[in-house]
A and B are shown apart, each in its own frame.
Chain A
């Protein structure tokens, strides 16, 4: 049929557009030549050199550490916001609460980064802390803008599920905290994991906010990569890209698995 041909063509072209650059990147990561664009032959040379590149390895470890910690904090606080917005009626200045928990989603990263940097500088002038910027300040900044992403996932999940289950448990004699731990938490657990994975990826991938709030000894992976590819191409970054994209796509699949699990 004519219309189904159009349909398959559109979907095929769309997917081709989305995956072509990723495949090109992976393809060139196997190029033996130091000049990235000139193909010399298949080789794993740059993967090998990557493992001996201390700057990249160190940045990778710092990034993973910050991402894991900030995702954990952001998840705890984000779950609290999601729960508050759906289940708790009395929130003082609720509009302000909604403003605080949703604006980081739409605020350009550049503005967020600048505001946090100026905040840390002012705070240091007033109370002498943080005396220098580094991993701690990046961690705080990442928690701040990851909270919102976790909050909407939890909010959506809590809005979906039937409140009667909680009320039934209360009627059966469970107290408030028992309902929370025995009923609500297990039901939203997949969404909590999904939220953590999303926050982890966002933190791992962030360049702009980290560039503003970084300091000596806190070069995260995106900062190092950006400094390498800002003006040109780097064969080591190609190899790193292939590995990182693969890892992140696996995380993405896990996210879908957890976020979908309890949706009808």
Chain B
């Protein structure tokens, strides 16, 4: 039948594109990560050799090399810590904002939501650049601090890990607020009233009613912040100093500076396994589960 052809066309056009330009590139990263490195162009040996009969030429040395050197593991741990701290800050700032937006009246709510997300549409790079201006030695923040008499000479605010956290929290905040708002918006505000009527104080209402109900939003928002931050390259490059090395920077240098393609590929593939795979499996299971419950 005609619609069968139609369906095939719809399913397979993007399928085709993504297999070629997304799946195969990931497979190539894996392939190069288990190749033997050598001097030359490209700087690795083929994994299948046909000289004297067929031979498979693979190695796990690149992984051993990475996981036995603190330079690499250390920067990976730095990135995980950075992502954790940034996620916590985004949550601490994002939760009250999302909560109060969700409890506003409906007209104000939509306006506030647009206002919160609009900065996210303006260029990422330029928003990071803005912090570079703010945190300069003679920048606006130092001028304020000097005039208030909090400090007698300009503070070095830029080029350290705190500036990096600042930049990340700022640029990723909308990614935290949106899913939080999505879940908080769904729940019945009368529950808060009810718990107050039942004699729970504010503190208890928050921990026993509001917080448990917003767990899915907290998880979604935290993942949206945590994962990209681990691989973040631009913000540490613009605002960070040499006090801390991060995964993104190491990966970049391993490839472009050291020209160690197998090493860089092993780094990238480890990143996929540690970070992305758990999330993807979770997502697939979740979508199956929600589909089953619908039918």
Contact = CB atoms under 8 A, between A and B. Distances in A.
B170 A21 contact: yes
Given A176-B3, A249-B121, A208 B132 contact: no
A144 B17 contact: yes
A114 B138 contact: no
Contacts of B284: 95, 98-99
Contact of A108 (B7, B25, B230): B230
Given A97-B15, A119-B24, A176-B3, 18 more contacts: A11-B101, A14-B97, A15-B116, A22-B122, A80-B11, A83-B10, A84-B11, A95-B284, A100-B19, A102-B280, A107-B272, A109-B231, A110-B251, A116-B21, A207-B125, A238-B133, A241-B129, A249-B121
A10 interface: yes
A99 B14 CA distance: 13
User: Chain A: interface secondary structure?
Assistant: helix
23 contacts: A14-B93, A15-B116, A21-B130, A21-B134, A36-B133, A100-B22, A102-B283, A106-B223, A110-B231, A114-B255, A115-B25, A115-B28, A118-B28, A118-B29, A207-B234, A208-B234, A225-B125, A229-B132, A229-B238, A230-B237, A241-B123, A245-B123, A252-B122
Interface size class of B (residues with CB under 8 A): 35 or more
B252 interface: yes
B10 A205 contact: no
A161 to B, nearest CB: 15
Interface size class of A (residues with CB under 8 A): 35 or more
Nearest to A202: B124
A91 B18 CA distance: 15
B182 to A, nearest CB: 11
Contacts of B174: 18
Contact of A98 (B133, B252, B283): B283
A172 interface: no
Contacts, number: 233
Given A77-B14, A205-B123, A252-B121, A11 B234 contact: no
Contacts of B186: none
Contacts of B173: 17-18
Contacts of B248: 108, 110
Q: 9 tightest A-B contacts by CB?
A: A108-B231, A252-B121, A176-B3, A21-B130, A115-B25, A119-B25, A245-B122, A100-B18, A77-B14
Interface stretch (B50-58, B70-78, B206-214, B263-271): B263-271
A193 interface: no
B144 to A, nearest CB: 11
Given A22-B127, A100-B23, A233-B133, A118 B32 contact: yes
B152 interface: no
